[in-house]
Amino acid sequence: MTPTPASFAAARSADANDVIAVSGQGDSAQRDRHSGPEDTDRRSRGARRMRPGRRGSGWRNAGWVLVFLLPSAVPLLLFTVIPMLASIWVSLTKWNLISAPTFVAFANYRRLLTDPATLDYFLHTGAYIVGYLPLVYIGGLSLAYVLDKKLVARSFFRAAVFLPVITSWVVVALVWQWLLNPAHGVVNTVLGALGLGQPGWWTDPDWAMPSIILASAWKDLGFVMVIMLAGLQSIPGDVQEAATVDGATGWQRFRRVTWPMLSPSTFFVVVISLINGLQVFDQVFVMTGGGPQGATQVVVGQIYNLTFRYGRAGDAAALSWILFVVILAITAGQLAGQRRWVTHA
């Protein structure tokens, strides 16, 4: 190719830039050799001044976090934390909510722990959990398994199952009290038409607790279904396909693949259901009021009675803290034992 004046000019410009760059590097190196420790310190201090201060920005961020937390932290402090701490003092007193409280130390705790009725309240609560937890878990898991398939109007059925969860407990309890009415309830009407026995349900001491369990499980099925459905959808499809290729049947895939991979969801459902079950109150209060003959009196129901019916706020506060210790111990045991059976993918 024949060189042109433009190419000569470009070459001279590139050579000049190289010379300038080399001379600049040499000058910089020479300055570094002749600079002393004071110049080095001065440059390092200048560089530090140019960098933003981490400590100041951290405090500013913390301040903004507190500002945004205040709208929820203040009510939590005023209506939960402070009353909870105050209940410790109340549990050590004899107080009828009208006159001044009298300090009695641990007399309330001793009386409750030695009273056979206290054990009955915990046994009734335990009986409720024993019937409620398997029913709501198996029912919620079954619904989740079915509604995870490609069905017509699948979204509608999911919403219909979840609807009772957002319904008021008072409404649910009244509806089930009507359904299970021994005289003219829908359930006994159907059972009579089929020639089956007609239980007394919530009016019979033997059937009152099963009535409450049915109402509770029906309301909470949607919550468990949503949790288990999320767990099912998080299982990789290639795992199921690999099990199918290996010749596993549907039940074997569920038993050996699906259910073990649902253990985190199962753990969450069991923990939350146990905590809520130990605090059962609304449906008992509306449907049976603790009766008949005290067959459904649970711990929280007795706390309510001690406070507002019998004027024994000290005993009620003490029973509340006993229940708190029981819930804390059971939850701590579950958290400690999860390593043995919970599989995190």
259-301 tens-digit pLDDT: 999 999 999 999 999 999 999 999 999 999 999 999 999 999 9
Do 22 and 77 belong together in one domain?
Answer: no
CA distances from 209 to 160, 215, 294, 297, 304 (A): 26, 10, 11, 9, 19
On whether both 122 and 43 belong to a single domain, the answer is no
Is the CA virtual torsion 270, 141, 164, 206 positive or negative? negative
Give the whole-angstrom CA distance, residue 310 versus residue 176.
29
Give me the CATH number covering residue 328: 1.10.3720.10
290-310 pLDDT tens trace: 999 999 999 999 999 999 999
Residues 76 and 121 in one domain: no
- pLDDT, residue 194, reads 93
The pLDDT value given to residue 10: 45
Same domain flag for 138 and 241: yes
pLDDT at 343 (0 to 100): 82
Looking at the structure of the chain, the number of domains it has is 3
* Amino acid 237: pLDDT: 85
Residue 162 lies in a domain: yes
Residue 42 in this model has a pLDDT that exceeds 90:
no
254 in a structural domain = yes
**Count of helices and strands (H, E) across the chain:** 17, 2
Classify residue 155: in a domain, yes or no: yes
Domain limits at 85?
A: 66-91
Contacts of 90 (CB under 8 A, 6+ apart): 101, 313, 314, 317
Q: Where is pLDDT greater, at 51 or 163?
A: 163
pLDDT in tens, 52-63: 555 557 788 888
Lowest-pLDDT range of 112-116, 183-187, 248-252, 267-271: 248-252
In a domain, 61, yes or no: no
DSSP code for 100: P
| 39 and 160 assigned to the same domain | no
Global pTM?
0.79
